[in-house]
Amino acid sequence: MNVVPNRLFLDVDRSVLGRPWRDRLDLAAQGRAQAMVQLDGRPDILARILAGRGVEPQTAEAFLNPAIRDLMPDPDVLRDMDAAVDRLARAIHKGETVAIFGDYDVDGACSSALVGGFLEACGTPFIIHIPDRIFEGYGPNSEAIRALAGQGASLLVTVDCGTVSFEPFAEGARLGMDVVVLDHHQAPVDLPPVAALVNPNRQDDLSGLGSLCATGVAYMALVGLNRRLRNDGFWNGRKPPDLLAALDIVALATVADVVPLTGLNRAFVSKGLAVMRARGRAGLRALMDGAGADGPPRPYHLGFLLGPRINAGGRIGDAALGAKLLLMQDEAEAIRIATELDRLNRERQIIEVQAAEEAHAEALAAVGLADEGSAIVTASDRWHPGVVGLVASRLKERFRRPAFAIHFNGDVGTGSGRSIPGVDLGRVVRAAVEAEILVKGGGHAMAAGVTIHKARLGDFRAFLEERLSFAVQQARVGDALYIDAAITAGGARPDLLHEIDRAGPFGAGNPEPVFVLPAHRLADASEVGTGHIRITARSGDNRSIGGIAFRAAGQPLGQALMKARGEAVHLAGTLSIDRWGGAERVQMRVLDMAKPGGERA
């Protein structure tokens, strides 16, 4: 069946970035929006935003006010959850020492702190181990497990990792350790024999919760565990942990891991942001203040200010700093750790820019003027292994196709890949492991990690080309910029933004609304900061709005903006409130530009 694409917006069939602009609303969605305006009295722009995300008029109120109690199923719908709760409850009743083994990213830090905080409230001794990215690599390893057993741990709980850790878990079993896995990465048919392996993406799990991050999975496990302990009478005479107060770090992990903000995930983030506003967690309070976050916490803060700083420890410093900060109650120590993470993040930014420039040049040579190839694979022995995922993300954004960046240390390389919507990277990486092209690898649809021998690099490129060609071609054919509405500089007021925010939190799966400033004169465009372009646009009535195109200097968008100074252009982007100096002003994050009347920029 041929799918008719949504109508062009402002007749833009090719922007400066080579994309058509399309109305996010098809005919059915336009009908839904009209019904919300006429029957419910909702503002037109809010109605368009809701309708463009598949919301029906009768479910709009529930969408605007997501409730965890309405969206969270019984934890036991997850495969092996009952066994996980049994083993954790037994450890708590017996006072066993529990080892928590997490990944070195935000999701790993948050899930480690979440489980650790619960055990702490139970009076259960626990150890958190976050592996060193360079010396240990991703996931459980036998040496670390031996060390944890030597510290008296009899139960190992892995979070955000462990689904395919056969050999390390065999070592744990030899040492008398039981294992509970709380993970979300895509899983093969054969799984390691453990006490419980809870993963909504294991192939025999029918829960439909595959979009949860690991912290979301861990939260559901703690809800089930809290219920079990209550039924056992464990809480008689003692205060149970406040699981609602822990939603701040569930929200942080959900946004930072870029899982879809739909259903339960959206409720997690909505309620977690409300918890974060109370500033009750010393570590997040110190991190927010150190990052200079303005106004109430928003998904932007989680994804672009807090997440990168927690990640910085795992990328180029002490991987355990993030989990330690999230559990920290001492104000002075929290500030010290947050300051160190901020320093590491600045250092990471410098390292990333240098590697990204080299990778971009390599990718440009491979793609060529003909813009060929289904995937980009770049590699170097000069790049820091902690920034390859960020480099891959930049390449994916620049070339609009799946991209890998690989760091080689001698013959063996470790790297990360990032994908585009509609192309399942985790699946093809698992297939490359099964074909023995990769030493190991795994991940999910939008991101994956790989380990590869240098001699197989060409084979990997060819494998990706063969397996991804059709999916990438289809994804790029449909690669349009979807527009929610047109707005003028004078109409972009803070009160309108507050109304629009009711449809949030925005992120993956619930995209941030994209607006167009039609035929606004580009009064100014200049380079600022580290490669950004700052603009001022004026409408016909001489009202102005500021904006910024991030990392656009020297790129097609930045070059087009600089060239169009003084001209009337269509500007597409997202809107946010700038609270600089105590006043609220709306500004645009410029995503694309087009010339009115079908002119070529």
The Cα–Cα gap between 493 and 484 comes to: 17
Model pLDDT, residue 232:
96
Same domain, 400 and 324: no
**Same domain? 155 vs 176:** yes
CA 426 – CA 436 distance, rounded (Å): 15
Q: Which of 411, 446, 477 is the last residue in one of the domains?
A: 477
Q: Domain boundary at 477, 512, 546, which?
A: 477
Q: What local confidence, expressed as pLDDT, does residue 134 receive?
A: 85
Taking every pair of C-alpha atoms in the chain, what is the biggest distance, in angstroms? 76
Cα–Cα distance for residue pair 443/184, rounded to 1 Å: 9
State the DSSP H helix or E strand holding residue 376, giving kind and residue range, or none if neither.
strand 376-380
Q: Give 479's contacts (C-beta < 8 A, 6+ positions apart).
A: 19, 400, 420
Does one domain contain both 167 and 98?
A: yes
Same domain, 330 and 471: no
pLDDT at 133: 87
103 shares its domain with 210: yes
CA–CA separation, 443 vs 436, rounded Å? 17
Number of domains in the chain: 3
Average pLDDT of 81-98? Answer: 98
Q: What are 1-50's pLDDT values in tens digits?
A: 445 678 999 999 999 999 999 999 999 999 999 999 998 899 999 999 99
In a domain, 431, yes or no: yes
Q: What is the pLDDT of residue 601?
A: 53
Quote the pLDDT of residue 599.
Answer: 59
Other beta carbons less than 10 A from residue 181's beta carbon? 31
Query: What average pLDDT does range 211-240 have in this prediction?
Result: 96
Domain hosting residue 548, numbered range: 21-25+484-598
Same domain, 470 and 508: no
- Mark 79-114 as b/e (b = at least 16 C-beta within 10 Å): bbbeebbbbbbebbeeebbbbbbbbbbbbbbbbbbb
Report the pLDDT averaged over residues 103-109: 95
Residues 419 and 540 occupy one common structural domain: no
Please give the average per-residue pLDDT across 169-192, as a whole number.
96
136 and 198 share a domain? yes
Report, as an integer, the average pLDDT of 178-194. Answer: 95
pLDDT over 70, % of the chain: 98
Q: Residues 158, 286: one domain?
A: yes
Q: Which residues pair with 451 in a beta bridge?
A: 414, 440
Give the pLDDT score at 600. 55
pLDDT over threshold 70, residue 503: yes
pTM over 0.85: yes
Query: Minimum mean pLDDT among 114-128, 201-215, 360-374, 474-488: which range?
Result: 360-374
Q: Is residue 232 situated within a structural domain?
A: yes
- The CATH code of the domain that includes 151 is 3.90.1640.30
Q: Give the angle subtended at the CA of 279 by the CAs of 274 and 283, to the nearest 5°.
A: 120
Q: Average model confidence (pLDDT) for the chain? A: 94
Residue 46 lies in a domain: no
Residue 36 domain flag: no
pLDDT value of position 322:
96
Asked if the structure places residue 551 within a domain, the reply is: yes
What per-residue confidence (pLDDT) applies to 1?
Answer: 41
Return the pLDDT at 598.
61
Q: 216 and 277: one domain?
A: yes
Asked if residue 417 belongs to a domain, the reply is yes
Give the domain CATH number at 530: 2.40.50.460
* CA–CA separation, 487 and 512 (whole Å): 15
C-alpha 89/C-alpha 426 separation (Å) is 33
**Residues 172 and 314 both lie in one domain:** yes
Together in a domain, 405 and 551: no
Residue 454 within a domain: yes
3-state secondary structure 394-448: HHHHHHCCCEEEEEEECCEEEEEEECCCCCCHHHHHHHHHHCCCCCEEEEECCEE
Q: Does a structural domain hold residue 158?
A: yes
Cis before 168? omega within 30: no
Whether residue 340 is predicted with pLDDT greater than 90 in this model: the reply is: yes
The CATH number that applies at residue 424 is 3.10.310.30
